Amino acid sequence: MADELLRPTIVANVDLSVRPWRLMSQAYVAFFGGVIAVTVIAWLNARRLGVGAAQQRLILGVGAVALVVSAAVVVLLTDGDADSGLRVATRVVAVLCCLVQLRLQRPMDRAFQLRGADYRSLWGPGIAAVIGLGLLEVLLLAGVAVAL
């Protein structure tokens, strides 16, 4: 009885049978896949957690801003040859974006933890996001570098 009193209130439209992914696993997607990959994963996970619509839009907005910052980093650091510093800088932007997105998911993730359920594996969706969306981001940023 006391255990039930400690559980936070979950909004009525949350499907309790859907299991979200661990928040910190999203950092791997950010590092290896970039801003677009982590934003899609964070948004899908926020939906799984039952995060409010305003926070979901904020997650997408943070991703859009981070993509613009990544493009600006590419423009500022491109000097004609492939530089590992450029890759590091865009990864830093993606991880910082991920940290903000994790912060927006955290309250509902804690509510999920208190329900006592297990997380779902991010291996399949994470690898798909890293390969598919990471490639899309590389092509997009390369197009920005070539255009300018």
The model's pLDDT over 78-132, given as tens digits with 9 standing for 90+, comes to 875 556 678 899 999 999 999 999 999 999 999 898 888 899 999 999 999 999 9
What pLDDT shows up at residue 148? 76
For residues 74 and 145, the answer to whether their CB atoms sit within 8 Å is yes
**Rounded average pLDDT over 67-86:** 83
Please list the residues that pair with 117 across neighbouring strands. Answer: none
Name residues whose C-beta falls within 8 Å of residue 37's C-beta, 6 or more positions apart in sequence.
29, 30, 129, 130, 132, 133, 134, 137
Using a 10 angstrom Cβ sphere, with 0-12 exposed, 13-18 middle and 19 or more buried, the burial of residue 84 is exposed
Q: Which two structure tokens, joined as six digits, stand for 109? A: 């993730």
**pLDDT interval class at 29 (50, 70, 90):** very high
Tell me the whole-structure pTM to 2 decimals: 0.88
pLDDT, mean over the chain = 89
How far the first Cα of the chain sits from its last, in Å, is 64
